């Protein structure tokens, strides 16, 4: 269903641009559509003032560092990601130190949702192949007391 809506949106925008006498070459059209898609995807990211933790963005909305020191928090932070017509390879690593409750790293890649399983010391690391569409990295808290340290980047983070 999302693909149909996305296709209809692209077709509608293309017809409107052509009807207005605005002609774009292929690269200009892709840049325009990427901009529209990014703006729509940005609305899903939790705003800085509403985050449980603190986000430090790097090169774009998909990369950076997130740190949270929690005391009984419940809720969800959509930390990194967005919508794009481009594919990306992203590396994600971090650590969850839990005193009580639960914090889960969830990754939504279009319709697929995965949850990362930290090792016995709370560390996690994964490589993500994000296809075009909506891709988001989030932390879901359930009466969580502890810390979350999460880093996302385009190059391997741990040197492995």
Q: What is the DSSP string of 119-155?
A: -TTSEEEEEEEEPSEEEEEEEEEEEEEEEEEEEEESS
pLDDT score, position 134? 87
In this structure, the strands spanning 123-130 and 88-109 are: antiparallel
Beta bridge partners of 75: 141
Q: How far apart are CA 50 and CA 151, in angstroms?
A: 19
- Same domain flag for 20 and 95: no
- Same domain flag for 37 and 54: no
The reply to whether 158 falls in a domain is no
- Same domain flag for 79 and 11: no
Q: What is the CATH number of the domain that holds 123?
A: 2.60.120.380
DSSP 8-state secondary structure symbol assigned to residue 60: S
Q: How far apart are CA 125 and CA 157, in angstroms?
A: 9
**Residues 3-34: tens digit of each pLDDT:** 555 565 665 666 555 555 555 566 665 555 55
pTM of structure: 0.73
- Same domain flag for 36 and 48: no
Which residue ranges of the chain lie beneath pLDDT 70? 1-44, 157-160
What token pair was written down for 16?
């409107």
pLDDT score, position 15? 57
């Amino acid at each position: 269903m999302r693909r149909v809506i996305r296709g209809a949106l692209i077709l509608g925008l293309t017809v409107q641009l052509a009807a207005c006498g605005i002609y774009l070459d292929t690269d200009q059209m892709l840049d325009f559509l990427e901009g529209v898609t990014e703006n729509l995807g940005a609305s899903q990211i939790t705003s800085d003032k509403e985050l449980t933790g603190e986000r430090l963005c790097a090169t774009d909305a998909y990369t950076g560092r997130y740190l949270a020191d929690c005391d009984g928090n419940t809720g969800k932070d959509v930390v990194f990601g967005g919508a794009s017509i481009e594919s990306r390879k992203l590396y994600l690593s971090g650590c969850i130190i839990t005193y009580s409750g639960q914090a889960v790293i969830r990754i939504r890649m279009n319709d697929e949702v995965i949850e990362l399983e930290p090792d016995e010391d709370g560390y996690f690391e994964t490589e993500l192949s994000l296809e075009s569409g909506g891709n988001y990295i989030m932390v879901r808290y359930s009466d969580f007391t502890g810390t979350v340290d999460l880093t996302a980047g385009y190059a391997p983070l741990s040197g492995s």
